[in-house]
Amino acid sequence: MREADEYIRGKFEEYYRHNFGRVRPPPEMEKREFGFLLFEEGIMIRHKAFKKATDLQSFIRTKVPAHVYNSTAYYLEPDQEMDKKNWQGADLTFDVDADHIDTTCKDAHDRWTCKNCKTQGKGSAPEKCPKCQGERIDGEVWVCEVCLERAREEVIKLLGFLTEDFGFSRKNMTICFSGHRGYHVHLRADEAKSLSSDERKEIVDYILGLGFDPNLHTDLLDGRIDPGIPNIENQGWQGRIHKGIYEILTETSEDELVKWGISRRIAKAISNKRDEFASKWIGEQRKIPPDGVGPTTWKAIIQKAVEEGSAKIDTVVTTDVHRLIRVPETLNAKTGFKTVEINSIERFDPFRDAIVFEGEETVYVRDAPQFRIGDQSFGPYLDKTVTIPSAAAILLVAKGKALPRRD
């Protein structure tokens, strides 16, 4: 085992020795498959089943896994091989991950290396190496406050879709922070459990706004709009698109519009007319497209409004009806944070609410960006030995930014 893994495993062992009783299995746990990724390189234990929470908890205490998962699915025989499990249904599950959100800070804190030709780059890892076309690429990502905040906003949008558009109750939803770069929403309504993979894909497409074609929406393309319909107040996509257009016309800077491919002349015309748009957009005088905006630009704006209104969910997690997903109150070896069930997404702070380790540790930091744990800010560090709170030290070691120092 690598020195860093050995160190993290030691910390996890200590944590689970005292806190194994906190691990929260999902409802109907006896019908779930459980999976465990161990610190010992590449060892995955799958197809495990537990009748009681205490059985799962003692297993975790004994094995001290790096990652703990349960199936979103319900099976008659969860401990059998995949094709003999007898699938009974699955929670409708959503994953919102910073990996799928475009943030400009990624260029500063994420890196990738092609395993084949060793080419390196900044930002998110590409699907193929631009130099050798190889697909084996190592990504190095950071748990960035800005990225996580954007992910949290996407979760709030997702909850809007699920409650307002689909009519699900918040009571049937559990929201978790993954302990790394994202959030999971587990929808456990009976109507959703039996949905097939294709049916789940339809839901995903709706939430992502996929396949929307402005040319098919003549009400959006020309003419004066009847007061009252459709507008920002409307439910569903209609309201989202109108709200998006309003925000684009009244808030987006000239430079930003140019970045989207709108000509400088038109971008300038739009930003010069902001106040006029703001006063006319809500009310009877609204005319679309507004004067000075041609049909091509208008369609680009509508498309952008759709993008802004969508919630950036991971398609695969929702459509895979055999997915394994993290168990609440277990630790994530990518950070040392815990996967945590969230009471209020509006008030949730991952850098406070997912922290478990107390005390202080001394570590040698090769290089780390600035970050926050609770109310305290750390770094940036370069080639430095520091004594810092354990949660911060474990995060740096887990992320490969620091090495434990043993005197």
Residues that bind Zn ion (CB under 5 A): 103, 105, 114, 116-117, 119, 129, 131-132, 134, 144, 146-147
Indicate the residue among 2 and 131 with the shorter CB distance to Zn ion.
131
Our CA dihedral for 254, 259, 260, 264, rounded to 10 degrees, sits at 50
Dihedral (CA of 397, 179, 392, 38) sign: negative
Indicate the residue among 146 and 189 with the shorter CB distance to Zn ion.
146
Cβ 151 to Zn ion, closest distance in Å? 10
Residue 89, sorted as left (phi over 0), alpha (psi -120 to 50) or beta, turns out to be: left
Cβ 195 to Zn ion, closest distance in Å? 33
d(CA 98, CA 312) in angstroms, rounded, equals 9
Cβ 143 to Zn ion, closest distance in Å? 9
Indicate the residue among 2 and 118 with the shorter CB distance to Zn ion.
118
Indicate the residue among 146 and 403 with the shorter CB distance to Zn ion.
146
Point out which residues pair with 90 in neighbouring strands.
Answer: 73
Cβ 390 to Zn ion, closest distance in Å? 24
d(CA 311, CA 72) in angstroms, rounded, equals 21
- HSE, side-chain direction, 13 A CA sphere, residue 166: 23
Indicate the residue among 70 and 103 with the shorter CB distance to Zn ion.
103
Indicate the residue among 66 and 392 with the shorter CB distance to Zn ion.
392
Cβ 325 to Zn ion, closest distance in Å? 23
Cβ 149 to Zn ion, closest distance in Å? 9
Cβ 98 to Zn ion, closest distance in Å? 7
Q: Which residues are catalytic?
A: 95, 97, 314
Indicate the residue among 102 and 202 with the shorter CB distance to Zn ion.
102
Dihedral (CA of 195, 198, 199, 201) sign: positive
